[in-house]
Amino acid sequence: MNSTYPATLTFEPPERVANWRPIANWFLAIPHFVILYGLRILAEVVGIISWFVILFTGELPESFANIQAMYLRYEIRVYTYALFMREEYPPFAFALTPADDGEEPRLRVDFRPQLTDRNRLTVGFRIILVIPHLLALFALEIVATVLIVIAFFVVLFTGDWPEGMRTLVLNVTRWYLRVQAYFLLLTDEYPPFALDLPAT
């Protein structure tokens, strides 16, 4: 799916997923979860520093933007695998680029960071501005969790992710990605309240 928002997730789902994947993928992803924990701490520290830098200079350093893009891309790769939406094992890749490096054959996570002409006012109040989205995501993630539990058993017995369920879970993931990109100061463009954005 293409989107005008500066944080996009493109995913080509496989026709089938091996029946054992719902059980095994979580265990296989443990090394990635350990790394992701460290990357999350790094992203939070960089986010705090970025907040002060933007308030004082009106600009986001490119190196900071690249770190946040790397972290969010890594997170999406790990969770789409752990949720048995695909079979390809996520690479231990840490490319510091806003554009996806193409390491994943079915998955792309791309960003267009806003480095200059930042809105200091919305940056200053970012944690407040993001609250409506956090409330919406809280409700949506409850629904997505229920669907994932159902899909766990469906895939376990049939090898097929129900298309409607997978689409909804993916769109909740896209919403999450947009909100995270906004919260981590990659852009000043307010995320849309939309599960699916029109193609461009």
Residue 73 lies in a domain: yes
Residue 111 lies in a domain: yes
pLDDT of residue 143: 97
Residue 191 lies in a domain: no
Residue 194 lies in a domain: no
Residue 63 lies in a domain: yes
Count of domains for the chain: 1
Residue 42 lies in a domain: yes
Q: What is the pLDDT along the chain (200 residues), one digit of tens a residue?
A: 446 899 999 999 988 999 999 999 999 999 999 999 999 999 999 999 999 999 999 999 999 999 999 999 999 999 999 999 999 999 999 999 999 998 888 899 999 999 999 999 999 999 999 999 999 999 999 999 999 999 999 999 999 999 999 999 999 999 999 999 999 999 999 999 998 754 43
pLDDT of residue 195: 86
**Enclosing domain of residue 90:** 7-183
CB atoms within 10 A of CB 176: 21
Residue/partner pairs of 124-129 with CB below 8 Å, 24 or more apart = 124/55, 126/51, 126/182, 126/183, 126/185, 127/183, 129/190
Residue 149 lies in a domain: yes
How many whole angstroms separate alpha carbon 3 and alpha carbon 137? Answer: 19
User: Which pTM does this prediction carry?
Assistant: 0.93
Residue 32 lies in a domain: yes
